[in-house]
Amino acid sequence: MAQINENYLKLAAGYLFPEIGRRVNAFAQANPEKRVIRMGIGDVTQPLTPAVIKAFHEGVEEMAHPATFKGYGPELGYAFLRTVIAEKAFASRGAHVSPDDIFISDGSKCDTGNIQEIFGSNSRIAICDPVYPVYADTTVMSGKTGNMMGNGYYDGIIYMPCTAENHFIPELPDEVPDLIFLCYPNNPTGTVATKDELKKWVDYALEHKSVILFDAAYEAFIRDPEIPHSIYEIENAEKVAIEFRSLSKTAGFTGTRLAYTIIPSALMGYDSQGNAIPVKKLWDRRHSTKFNGVSYPVQKAAAAVFSEEGQKETQAVIDYYMENAAIIKKSLTTLGYEVYGGENAPYIWTGTPGGMKSWEFFDLLLTRANVVGTPGSGFGPAGEGYFRFSAFADRENVLEAMERIKTV
């Protein structure tokens, strides 16, 4: 008899974004005459830039000829890509990352979800509330929690509430976690962490031999020059932090798929005898056993993102989305909403009008304005009464959505 992994039965609901998709599709089917504007899931709308497309085509062309054809690539990713990432994404900001510590993958969602596999099954996990649901759901799937309790929290996870009172920056937890998920710029609240803030976490992790799982998928959207893009801009972070980066939002790769994860050689985990073991060795073993790499043309396209032309073009697209963010922020503020984020992140986090429940506001907005956002409670109990708008949309849709919201 095939027994199932019963941890999956503990998951309180379907994954957030398919659930939104299901509700929106049901509405669209019932109201075919309505044009729905989607600002829910953070999915890019602008095409890959010309420099990236050119490199992509060249990569495909190489696959068409015996002399340049490529089969399996190196499991960790091609050296040409890892080298350019180390130089352009890190060294240029004074963060030292060795190309040998970079693992190319097909997504940060997968990497942040899979990373727990190389840590002990009894690891205590700390997550923010609200949070990108992948961290919580994969913790449940891996069997590190009990059931969901009456307060909407899974038994066994250390939750760190992020509220307007603490400016959506979590306090250091009383109970010491082994693994700490942090995401800055933050999804969903759009807040950022200063160097001092990150230093506090690095020092805490050093003191407790914890590991920080730092999701920097939105670093490219930071505009304030004082805000760190990488946790490795903080002294000693290479001893305690894994960083996840993605080209999904940065360069329009949500459908193309390329991300990278940094596990510094200096980062140690501990076996049951207390011996220090390089974490990188374990991820290397996992990656080369369970993953066969990202396709060559995609890696070639990714390298073009870091070329001079690619950087310029990519920045222009990011500016476009950030102008959307500014429009959304200004419109909602003018309408009297309580608004956060949107200045160094592509997400705008807003209080619902009149303290309405998040899903109630979702339904209201969908049915009255035909606009889709993401209910804050889908990111965790502290997200109740909040709502997230994504700036990844076409400009005319953003403008129209803001007009329609006026009538709600």
In whole angstroms, give the CA distance from residue 262 to residue 283: 10
In whole angstroms, give the CA distance from residue 378 to residue 277: 37
Q: Is 348 helix (H, G, I), strand (E, B) or coil?
A: strand
249: left (phi over 0), alpha (psi -120 to 50) or beta: alpha
Retrieve residue 156's tokens. 């066994």
- Show Cβ contacts of residue 129 under 8 Å, excluding neighbours closer than 6 positions: 153, 159, 160, 161, 162, 379, 380, 381, 382, 383
Nearest approach in angstroms of CB 113 to ligand MLT is: 10
Nearest approach in angstroms of CB 135 to ligand MLT is: 11
Nearest approach in angstroms of CB 43 to ligand MLT is: 6
The count of other CB atoms within 10 Å of the CB of residue 138 is 20
Q: Closest CB to ligand MLT among 187 and 350?
A: 187
Give the CB-side neighbour count of residue 258, counting CA atoms within 13 A.
29
- What are the CB-based long-range contacts (under 8 Å, 24+) for 272-278? none
Q: Closest CB to ligand MLT among 215 and 384?
A: 215
Q: Is 18 helix (H, G, I), strand (E, B) or coil?
A: helix
Nearest approach in angstroms of CB 375 to ligand MLT is: 12
Q: Closest CB to ligand MLT among 187 and 358?
A: 187
Q: Closest CB to ligand MLT among 104 and 393?
A: 393
DSSP 184-243: SS-TTT-----HHHHHHHHHHHHHHT-EEEEE-TTGGG---TTS-SSGGGSTTGGGTEEE
φ, ψ (nearest 5 deg) of residue 82: -65, -35
Nearest approach in angstroms of CB 383 to ligand MLT is: 12
Q: Closest CB to ligand MLT among 170 and 373?
A: 373
Q: Closest CB to ligand MLT among 8 and 15?
A: 15
Nearest approach in angstroms of CB 88 to ligand MLT is: 22
Residues that bind ligand MLT (CB under 6 A): 41-43, 109, 132, 187
Q: How far is C-alpha 68 from the chain's CA centre? A: 35
Q: Closest CB to ligand MLT among 190 and 269?
A: 190
Q: Closest CB to ligand MLT among 296 and 321?
A: 321
Sign of the torsion formed by the C-alpha atoms of 240, 262, 274 and 290: positive
Nearest approach in angstroms of CB 45 to ligand MLT is: 12
Give the CB-side neighbour count of residue 84, counting CA atoms within 13 A.
17
Nearest approach in angstroms of CB 243 to ligand MLT is: 16
